[in-house]
Amino acid sequence: MQRIIDFFLGNKLRLLFWFYLLIGIGLTTSQNLYFKSSYLNTSGQISGGIHLFFSGIGDYFSLAAENKFLSEQNKVLLERLTALEKPGLNQNPAELKKNFEYINGRILKNSFTGLDNYLTLSLGKKDSVFTDMGVVNEKGLLGIIEFSGNSFSTVQSILHSKSKINVKVKGTDYFGSLIWDGKKPNRVQLTDIPDLAPIKKGDTIISGGMSSIFPENILVGTVEDFELTAAKNYYLIQVRLFNDMQNIGPVYVIKNRFKKEIKAVENNSDE
């Protein structure tokens, strides 16, 4: 017994080091989604308030009001645009307008230099913002809500190693996945486009509309460079983002009114 106690006392520092190290590595690399989401959610709620305070310091009264007015106006315009761009055959325009609803908010904390970047958004469940909703601004795609708390949400940026968004080449029906290699914050990669696709530099990449998260035709970026992958069947395309991820401005959360129905139909067809 004495020896055990002596061992612990003698190696106190080393044991403490291993203790903290294991907690740290456990927290950092945990693959348990429930644990990760509750942890990030809690930390997001704490830091959200602090970020709100600091970002508030820079807002002058008149500017804030003006910004709000502009972003309200944009919201209306964006809703009308989506309704106009994809008129269905049997729907009347009044119903169409309701397919996608835009909720305007702002980014309190932005990051783009890590490998897994998250943004903190000023909206939460009380603004009816929930997990898996898309986030955009006027220039294009930003990311998808990963966790939503009561007043703040955490957005998984398109600059995240696990981000994978369905996009297509404008004017064609070739769909691919948008990923990020972690190098430059203004350049993302498009994969899974077959070598048959007529790609050229300067082509526009837009959202594909294959998921219930983003509507079709949201801007992403332009083709900067492309090459065939080692397997020679698919292109690896370098896409320059329209968005400046360092300077985001007002953002909009996209809410799909028929998401539940779409999910229900998908689940039924799986069974």
Based on the shown chain and the rule CB under 8 A, indicate whether residue 56 belongs to the binding site for other proteins: no
Based on the shown chain and the rule CB under 8 A, indicate whether residue 184 belongs to the binding site for other proteins: yes
Q: Which of 27, 63, 64, 228 binds other proteins (CB under 8 A)?
A: 27
The DSSP letter of residue 92 is -
Cβ neighbours of 38 (radius 10 Å):
12
Segment interacting with other proteins (CB under 8 A) among 37-45, 85-93, 208-216, 226-234: 37-45
Contact letters for other proteins, residues 94-133 (x by CB under 8 A)? ---------------xxxxxxxx-x-x-------------
Look up tokens 């809690």; give the residue. 42
C-alpha to C-alpha distance for 11 and 197, rounded to whole angstroms: 63
Phi and psi based region of residue 135 (left: phi greater than 0; alpha: psi -120 to 50; beta: remaining): beta
Q: Which amino acid is at 38?
A: S
CB of 182 to other proteins, least distance (A): 6
C-alpha to C-alpha distance for 259 and 263, rounded to whole angstroms: 6
Based on the shown chain and the rule CB under 8 A, indicate whether residue 36 belongs to the binding site for other proteins: yes
CB of 41 to other proteins, least distance (A): 11
Which residue, 128 or 246, is less far from other proteins as judged by CB?
A: 246
Binding positions for other proteins, 134-163, rule CB under 8 A: 154
Cβ neighbours of 265 (radius 10 Å):
11
134 has which bridge partners?
144, 254
Q: Which of 11, 32, 43, 131 binds other proteins (CB under 8 A)?
A: 43
Contacts of 185 (CB under 8 A, 6+ apart): 112, 113, 159, 245, 246
Task: Give how many residues touch other proteins by CB under 8 A.
Answer: 41
Query: Where along the sequence are the contacts to other proteins (CB under 8 A)?
Result: 12-13, 16-17, 20-21, 23-30, 36, 39-40, 43-44, 46-47, 50-51, 54, 109-116, 118, 120, 154, 182-186, 246
